[in-house]
Structures are given as C-alpha cells and as structure tokens.
Structure 1
C-alpha cells in the first residue's frame, strides 16, 4: 500500500481508502513543482501514456520500456503505488497492430504483450 503521509493521500488513507492517485509521466515529474506535489499529496501514480501499446511495443516483438521504467522506478523509490495503464486499448496502436486481420494472430500478439508488460512489473504494478 501507499504510504499514508500527509496531504491529500494522508486524508484519504486515514478514512480507509487505499490511496489518492494522479496520472503522471516523465515530463510531469521532471518539473520540480509537480514532483513535489506528487510526493506530498499522492499515494499512487498512473502512467499517462508510457504503458500504452504505441509507447511500449512500437514494432512487433520490440519492446521499449524506457518511459514506463522511469515512472515505475520513480514511484517505487518514493513509496507510491503504480496502476498499470493501459496494456490493451483500442487507441494509440502502432500500425502493425491495426493491420492484423487474423483473430488467432491478434490474440497471440495481445497475450504476448500483456505477459511481457505485466511480467516486467509484477509485484510493482497494483492494477
């Protein structure tokens, strides 16, 4: 669970909630005022785009975890929970995914993507 701490997250957790969260990415966190607010008031972060398909698997079988790793590492080093977002979605798909016309192939591609992404962050991703 996220650290109770002070600020909004402290208020939420003191009333039995798990956390009070925010969406963030590396650009957000690299702004000092934003980072201070995330640390003081939020118990969880959800990646804005770093776990979406176009960011994590721009080419079939070639994964890029740079942005997602940054956010997960930052969050865990600051005692924040991570909510994975979004492993499978209808939007922000690379062209190679959109061009798949075969159900069996698409199912295999989706399963591989979920297991690769989920496996990488197992134990650190809480949703």
Structure 2
C-alpha cells in the first residue's frame, strides 16, 4: 500500500498544473496578472469580482501584494480595469426599511502580508 501511495503521489506531482491564461482575456498585462495574482488565488476570484476602476484595482492589489511604486502595478490595474470594469450585475442592492443586522469583525492581514503568512502575537508566539 505504501508503494502504491508513493507511486500515485509521484504521478500526480508530474501532471501539469494549469492555471490557464485562457481563463483571462488576452491583452497587455495578462502575463503579469497570471504571475503576480494567481500565486495566491485562482483566476475565478478575478472573474467573479464586482469589477473596479484602475485606481480601485490598484488599491485592492496593494492590500494583497507588495507592488507599491512599481510600474507593473499600473499595468496590472489597467489590464484588470479594461477587462473587469465595475459591473451592475453583481452590485450590492439597497434594502429600504428597518433591517436588523449584526456585524462580526476580525483582524485582517497588514499590507503586503498574505493570509497564510505567520504573524507574531504580543506574547511572541506565532
């Protein structure tokens, strides 16, 4: 059984992983989006987003990756804004009248930190 598991693990590791650029429209910046964005999440997150202006895509990207001050960020945000602009189809809908809601809050990662990165607590634990 152990040999079988090792063979299967090896076979799966040799299969090509396809984060296909075909998932994204062609254009200047597509390759940068594929290399910069899909290392942490799939193209589905981009395709299913509400859509943003170039400035809003840039703001969103700065919360995820540290590209501040690089020309690549301008190319990435321009590409995303061109192909994934704001969409009314997924926009929030205002609900009139009294509505009871509850908010839950939690600490998010700091700028440039990915959610999977370890964080040091005040007591020095990770």
Question: Which has the larger share of helix?
Answer: 1
What interval of TM-score do these two structures reach, taking the shorter chain for normalisation? under 0.3
The alignment's TM-score, normalised by the length of structure 2, stands at 0.24
Question: Which has the larger share of strand?
Answer: 1
Task: From the CA coordinates, give the structure whose radius of gyration is larger.
Answer: 2
The alignment's TM-score, normalised by the length of structure 1, stands at 0.24
